Amino acid sequence: MLTLGTGSIVIVTTIALVALGALACALVLRRQVLAADEGTASMREIARAVQEGASAYLNRQFRTLALFAVVVFALLFLLPGDGGVRLGRSIAFLFGAAFSAAIGYLGMWLAVRANVRVAAAATRPDGRAVGARLAFRTGGVVGMCVVGLGLLGAALVVLVYRADAPAVLEGFGFGAALLAMFMRVGGGIFTKAADVGADLVGKVEQGIPEDDPRNAATIADNVGDNVGDCAGMAADLFESYAVTLVAALILGRAVMGEQGLVFPLIVTAVGALVALLGVLATRVRGSESGLAAINRGFYLSAVVGVVLAAVAAFAYLPSSFEGLGGTAQLGTLTGISADPRVVASLAVAVGVLLAGVILWITGYFTGTTSKPTLHVAATSRTGAATVVLSGIGVGFESAVYTAGIIAAAICAVFLLAGGSVWLSLFLVALAGCGLLTTVGVIVAMDTFGPVSDNAQGIAEMSGDVDEAGAQTLTDLDAVGNTTKAITKGIAIATAVLAATALFGSYADAVAHALSQVSEAGTGLVGAMLSFEIVSPVTLVGVILGAATVFLFSGLAVDAVTRAAGAIVLEVRRQFREHPGIMTFQERPEYGRVVDICTRDSLRELATPGLLAAFAPIAVGFGLGVGPLAGFLAGAIAAGVLMAIFLANSGGAWDNAKKIVEDGAHGGKGSEAHAATVIGDTVGDPFKDTAGPAINPLIKVMNLVSVLIAPAVVAMSVPADANHALRIGIAVVAAAIAFGAVILSRLRAARVDQETAEREAVGAER
């Protein structure tokens, strides 16, 4: 039985104190942001409307999800295992979900207060530097909270449950991932429905600017940026942090015993220190680009993180794997792979290097000065179709390069492990922890985008910012588009590393369950428990896993399509029935659009969530643990390519629009501009709804698989086989997953009918 020594307990306690210190730093940064000037009365009024809409949406969303969380809490307690561990896992699930929700709410709460301050800063002579610092430090608050709450939750579970901590932390990671997926999907539907509706009616049909106050969808658009990008991405990165830690602790215990359980916590604690360094070091100098300052802060924190992690490895880990107490069979290790200190340090370095390379690749494919985006902008001269086609091409190409880099990183880790599968899986998890040493800066980079975007919208709607200030905010917004795309790429990389490590955790769970039975059996039962990829039934699992990613993405995009259609009809109605809106004599009904977005996004929330939770249950209990392993492999492979394609094509379309709006190819109001607006509206659900939601999707499915693996084995082996119950569970799970999809299709048909009726009424008027 694994126990923690006094030294390890002292280290983990210190890590918990570091987590509290990170939260204290977040409070200091928050105070600095809120101390800035809030601008004019008009700016404050607009900001207040955004604040009210965002708070109302998240409050309704959390009430909707609370019942779901209670149900999952009860189901987790029914899974096999020791009573104390089952209770702890269920409680940890609630804490993971609560922390994820808290991070999301905090990201929204501060962002909707920082945006007006960034808009006000643009009126100053040094507005670009001040605005960039405010926007980045807003994200820094959220980043420090991600690090603090993630570390605190993991450290406390280790202190309380010791050797059983990895099993309990499965619940913590599952709660974080499940809430993040719901927030990503719901917030993504809200923000892109409003954005697409606002652009199609405002820009294309009425020919008015993006954030013109006459457009009834503008407030909803700004609300959506905060509930989708700020709240959703913050929760997403928090669950990446939590899930990667869970996988690292499970595999670390198996490979290195006590040291393997503690060292991942040390690496992530290093991240708390470098996050603060990165946030404080990010300052715009003179006339330099905001992106240059952000990149400098990121790379500085990354280098310091690698150095400190290496120091920790050589100070804490022994020089040999012998006597570490791990249960995994490592085989004969030679060379550098025989030294835990060296391989751990290099694995962390691989993760950090991966983050830096993805930052560069994503910036290249989506930046406003890069050839791919300039090419997409140039195709606007021949119409919307060529803009869409070129953006799709950029997305496909970038997916190959980014996925190739991630695969190369995994191969490098495998080589470091000297061919040992178990050691390489643990090193993959350590690489993920290394990548996440920069998570504080990554969250700050992501939040920078919606804060600067909202600041530009508030400035335009208020009319209180001069031309120079407006250009400052436009520049910050363009930087924000690139940083959002970059952080999506890094989030995808963390998802792949975490899912790969969880794949190993799944194998560990299956191996442990099989060790408890006397005979695995042969024939059909043996095939169900086999991991051989050449098995046809395992290949079936691979196909189903990849198909689930496609179905999930289609559901998310289609949900945005329906919600955006409702917004288009509402904004058209207001322009038609209230002609005084165009002459500024009447005020648009902003609240109606916010209500429609809230209603439709929450209504569409359940289907993707039920698919993610119940698809692996159906495959596992229906086909066995071997095909379920194939299911996870297919989901990881298809998920990484699909997520990168969606994120980068959307980012390229968005910045191509910015290029044209800055005067290229005819500038605003030209046919080229209209073409890029169409491209941007296609890309909106790609990059901000379906693409980002794939990250938590593949981790939710992996965690569900880890949790159910012992039960699947227990119901499959000859000694305790209960095939009737096993098949019954599979049928019920499949009915829930695909029943939700069918209901979604029926709802889509009903919405189409209602839309046709509303259009007919409008035409008669």
The answer to whether 729 and 621 are in contact (CB under 8 A) is yes
Residue with tokens 């307990």: 9
Can you give the pLDDT at residue 382? Answer: 92
- C-alpha distance from residue 756 to each of 165, 198, 565, 569, 753 (Å): 56, 20, 11, 10, 5
Of the candidates 765, 760, 761, the residue with the CA atom closest to the CA atom of residue 579: 765
Give the CA count within 13 Å in the CB-facing half-sphere of 618: 20
User: Is residue 333 left, alpha or beta, with left meaning phi > 0 and alpha meaning psi from -120 to 50?
Assistant: beta
Give the ranges where 122-230 is alpha helix by DSSP (H): 127-161, 165-198, 218-224
The full 3-state SS of 474-512, as one line of letters, equals HHHHHHHHHHHHHHHHHHHHHHHHHHHHHHHHHHHHHHH
Residue type, position 501, single letter: A
Distance CA 632, CA 635 (A): 5
Distance CA 26, CA 428 (A): 30
Instruction: Give pLDDT, residue 3.
Output: 67
Cα radius of gyration (the chain): 25
Measured distance CA(748)–CA(746) in Å, rounded: 5
DSSP assignment of 522-533 equals: SHHHHHHT---T
* Dist CA 516 CA 532 (whole Å): 21
CB 365 within 8 A of CB 651: yes
Sign of CA dihedral 629, 634, 637, 640: negative
With H, G, I as helix, E, B as strand and everything else as coil, classify residue 729. helix
Give the CB-side neighbour count of residue 740, counting CA atoms within 13 A.
21
How many other C-beta atoms can be found within 10 angstroms of the C-beta atom of residue 378? 18
Which residues in the chain show pLDDT less than 50? 1, 521-525, 527-528
> What is the identity of the amino acid at 297?
G
- Residue 495 tokens, joined: 């998802």
Q: Among 350, 239, 149, 245, which residue's Cα sits nearest to residue 698?
A: 239
Residue 284 backbone class (left: φ over 0; alpha: ψ -120 to 50; beta: rest): beta
d(CA 459, CA 222): 12
- Distance spanning both ends of the chain, measured CA to CA: 77
**For the chain, which residues make up each domain, given as ranges?**
6-764
What is the reported pLDDT for 732? 92
Residue whose token pair is 């500038």: 667
Cα Dmax for the chain = 83
pLDDT given for residue 721 in this prediction: 62
Q: What is the pLDDT of residue 524?
A: 47
List all residues 6 or more positions away from 9 whose beta carbon is below 8 Å from its beta carbon: 159
226 vs 114, 150, 702, CA distance in Å? Answer: 11, 22, 28
pTM of the model: 0.83
Residue showing tokens 């993760």:
351
CA distance 268 to 98: 21
DSSP assignment letter at 724: H
Which region holds residue 676: left if phi is over 0, alpha if psi is between -120 and 50, else beta?
alpha
pLDDT digits (tens, 9 = 90+) for 147-197: 888 889 888 888 888 777 878 888 888 888 888 888 888 888 888 888 888
Distance in angstroms (rounded) separating the CA atoms of residues 235 and 251: 24
Separation of alpha carbons 668 and 652, rounded Å: 18
Query: What are the structure tokens assigned to 724, written together?
Result: 């009737």
Structure tokens at 30: 């928050």
Task: Tell me the C-alpha distance between 193 and 184, whole Å.
Answer: 14
Return phi, psi of residue 469, to 5°: -65, -40
The amino acid that residue 578 corresponds to is: H
